[in-house]
């Protein structure tokens, strides 16, 4: 039986009867709804809901998008992504066409249903081990984006994702950014591989732990990287700084809450004169450095130079709500946004 959360009429942003594409709240609500459309597309497939019984179409049709194509996993044949094309009625005249995406490529997160859960959890584990970039799903996602950019250009393409899908969108965005293609991106509850330091209440203890972690990470980087390798890594990280994805995190969600501390700690290290240490630490993780020492390829996907970070300070009843995609189109959210440039 379909969940209420799958029905656009019951849980979608029906209050958004007009979209102001210059309004960040409106843009993120549309992006989040399109991601939810991917979740429901896969659930429609699993439940064999077709035609008038399908629940997914309203999640994009309400905003005048059409389903251009789906992105399918080669292992379990599940739908993990979708490409939407904006098709407004000819009667609608928009005076801000420069902000409207022609195409949106969206990726869902983990679905705990028998048909897809084993593959999704396998990919979650690859992310935790910093190996998501080595999976076939990642290759399919990157190729789908490359094909769209080659076909229509990158100016009016958006990337969007939630949870595991957010990690997939981030990997794709970073890959394109390394080729100087910077795609506007909306990443909801992006996972961050780290101990949950942000959830420590004592600010002094939290700050002390972060400083210690930065010193250790920077020291390991110096010890384990040759001078030429260091220069190559730094230049690769520097080249990403022009890409500024929009990250949406909830401090009550341990999966993504560390992003708040990650960016704020960089600012504090600059203030105390330890910026050079943090510039080394911010582009490395201890786990990746250790794996590299044993000759294993590893990429700290969650580490990025720049971001527009939006934190949802509204209270959440439980983890499901704090990590859920539905929170991001609710009206009257208490949001805090900051721009962090590397």
Query: In three state form, how does the secondary structure of 149-205 look?
Result: HHHHCCCCEEEEEECHHHHHHHHHHHHHHCCCCCCEEEEECCCCCCCCHHHCCCHHH
What is the pTM (predicted TM-score) of this model? 0.85
Of the listed ranges 81-95, 110-124, 159-173, 220-234, the least confidently predicted one is 220-234
Is residue 112 assigned to a domain?
Answer: yes
Q: Which residue range(s) make up the domain with 37?
A: 4-194+242-269+301-340
Task: Annotate 235-255 with DSSP letters as a single string.
Answer: HHHHHTTT---EEEE-TT-TT
Higher pLDDT, 134 or 279: 134
What gap in Å lies between CA 74 and CA 137, rounded to an integer? 7
pLDDT band at 53 (very low <50, low <70, confident <90, very high): very high
Is residue 67 assigned to a domain?
Answer: yes
Is residue 57 assigned to a domain?
Answer: yes
Other CB atoms closer than 10 Å to residue 179's CB: what's the count? Answer: 11
Other CB atoms closer than 10 Å to residue 187's CB: what's the count? Answer: 30
What's the CATH code of the domain at 322? 3.40.50
pLDDT, mean of residues 117-127: 93
Do 240 and 177 meet the contact criterion of CB atoms below 8 Å apart?
Answer: yes
Of the listed ranges 56-65, 77-86, 161-170, 219-228, the least confidently predicted one is 219-228
The mean of the pLDDT values for the chain is 85
Is residue 203 assigned to a domain?
Answer: no
Nearest to 168 by CA among 123, 129, 116: 123
Is residue 216 assigned to a domain?
Answer: no
Domain count of the fold of the chain: 1
312: phi then psi, degrees, rounded to nearest 5: -90, 105
């Amino acid at each position: 039986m379909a969940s209420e959360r799958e029905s656009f009429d019951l849980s979608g942003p029906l209050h958004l009867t007009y979209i102001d594409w210059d309004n960040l709240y409106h843009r993120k609500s549309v992006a989040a709804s399109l991601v939810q459309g991917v979740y429901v597309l896969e659930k429609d497939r699993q439940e064999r809901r077709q035609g008038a019984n399908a629940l997914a179409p309203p999640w994009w049709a309400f905003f005048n998008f059409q389903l251009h194509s789906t992105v399918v996993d080669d292992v379990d044949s599940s739908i993990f992504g979708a490409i939407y094309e904006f098709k407004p009625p000819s009667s609608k005249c928009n005076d801000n066409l420069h902000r409207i995406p022609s195409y949106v490529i969206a990726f869902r997160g983990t679905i705990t249903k028998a048909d897809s859960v084993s593959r999704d959890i396998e990919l979650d584990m690859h992310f935790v081990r910093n190996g998501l970039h080595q999976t076939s799903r990642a290759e399919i996602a990157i190729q789908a984006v490359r094909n769209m950019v080659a076909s229509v250009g990158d100016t009016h393409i958006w990337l969007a994702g939630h949870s595991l899908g957010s990690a997939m969108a981030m990997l794709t965005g970073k890959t394109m950014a390394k080729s100087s293609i910077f795609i506007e991106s909306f990443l909801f509850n992006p996972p961050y591989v780290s101990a949950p330091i942000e959830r420590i209440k004592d600010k002094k203890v939290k700050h002390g732990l972060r400083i210690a972690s930065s010193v250790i990470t920077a020291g390991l980087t110096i010890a384990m990287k040759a001078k030429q390798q260091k220069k190559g890594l730094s230049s690769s990280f520097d080249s990403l700084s022009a890409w500024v994805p929009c990250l949406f995190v909830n401090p009550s969600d341990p999966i993504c809450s560390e992003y708040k501390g990650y960016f704020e700690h960089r600012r504090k290290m600059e203030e105390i004169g330890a910026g050079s240490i943090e510039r080394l630490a911010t582009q490395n993780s201890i786990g990746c450095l250790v794996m590299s020492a044993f000759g294993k390829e590893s990429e700290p996907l969650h580490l990025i130079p720049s971001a527009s970070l939006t934190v949802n300070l509204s209270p959440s009843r439980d983890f499901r709500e704090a990590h859920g995609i539905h929170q991001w189109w609710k009206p009257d959210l208490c949001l805090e946004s900051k721009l962090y440039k590397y």
